[in-house]
Structure 1
Amino acid sequence: MNEQQYNTLKEQLTPQTPVFVNVLKAFGVGGIICSIGQAISYFYMIFFDFTEKTVGNPTVATMIFIAMLLTGLGYYRKLGQFAGAGSAVPVTGFGNAVISAAIEYRSEGFVLGVGGNMFKLAGSVILFGVVSAFFVALIKLILVSVGVASW
């Protein structure tokens, strides 16, 4: 069997990926997750007297908590298998990444297993998020101080 015959056979035996259906599922689930986040924001603004400027932190914390709870109960993996990238909406995907690593290494103990490996994937996200936020704030401070931009 030569390379061309092998490639022909491989294309015949490889199942076709339903790209359009996968994109629709990811878009739908990602949109639902974001809608839930918006509903939580409105809940905090109505019942706890937060403003639009102050509601972000409790909403993010609640979304991360929900994602971590669903990961611990095993539902977030099923959601990820169904929706693919749609379940990796940044906030809930972060919570899932942290808890997944903690669950995976819990047999090694709390300190070296869970504590040492919990931020393996999420640690880089935290690091680059903080560093990029620092540089953006520094650039904004410089632009404001020279009069190019205003607060």
Structure 2
Amino acid sequence: MEDNKKLQKDFEKKIKPFQPKVPYLKNGFKAYVIGGAICAIGQGISNYFLRVFDLTEATAVSPMIATLILIAALMTGLGFFDRLGQFAGAGALVPVTGFANAIASAALEHRSEGLVLGIGANMFRIAGAVIAFGVVSAYLVGLTRLLVQTLIS
């Protein structure tokens, strides 16, 4: 085991000069700008729903998110979201649009296998873990809050 670790460290030292330098600052700036732009678009859509449909701020959130998901799914289907993701990195993947992209791209990839076994079975392959951990986390946070409120009162 020790020999493997030593070999691994030696290998990493030898290949380090040949690896490209990662522009962390540039990548971070691009992610910040694109992620902020996606959020600003979401805010614009929310403001539109507030003005045109006379919704409250609380009720405008759901249709705004649904609209962003629709836009991201359409962009994925047309091939634009992949290019945006390659350029912006995490800036395009962190908002809800990244989740929509994960589902839509998996569905597109397996559409030739049919609706049920292709799209239905594979659409949530990547996003399923996010959904599962999200539900479990929400349950644990809710349970913790209930316990804390019970202990306090």
Give the drift of 1:14: 2.2
| SS of structure 1 residue aligned to 2:58 | coil
In the comparison of the two structures, how many residue pairs are matched? 146
Match among 32, 44, 48 for residue 49 of structure 2:
44
Partner of 1:106: 111
CA displacement at 1:145 relative to structure 2 = 5.0
Name the TM-score, length of structure 1 as normaliser: 0.85
**Partner residue of 2:58?**
53
Q: Deviations over 1:84-132 (max 9, x none)?
A: 1111123101100001100111121111011100001111111222222
Report which stretch shifted further, 60-69 or 123-132: 123-132
**Is 2:19 aligned against 1:14?**
yes
Q: Which runs of 5+ in 1 are unaligned?
A: none
Alpha-carbon distance change, 24 to 73 in structure 1, aligned in 2, over 3 angstroms: same
1:123 aligns with 2:148: no
Matched residues, percent identical? 51
1:16 is displaced (CA, Å) by 1.5
Amino acid at match of 1:34: C
Match of 1:33 in 2: 38
Does the residue aligned with 1:53 lie in a helix, a strand or coil? helix
User: Which ranges in structure 2 are unaligned for 5 or more consecutive residues?
Assistant: 1-8
Determine which structure has the larger helix proportion and give its number.
2
Structure 2 distance, partners of 1:146, 1:7, is 55
- Rounded Cα–Cα distance in structure 2 between residues aligned with 1:105 and 1:117: 7
Alpha-carbon distance in structure 2 between the residues aligned to 1:141 and 1:55: 28
Q: 2:36 is aligned with what amino acid? A: G
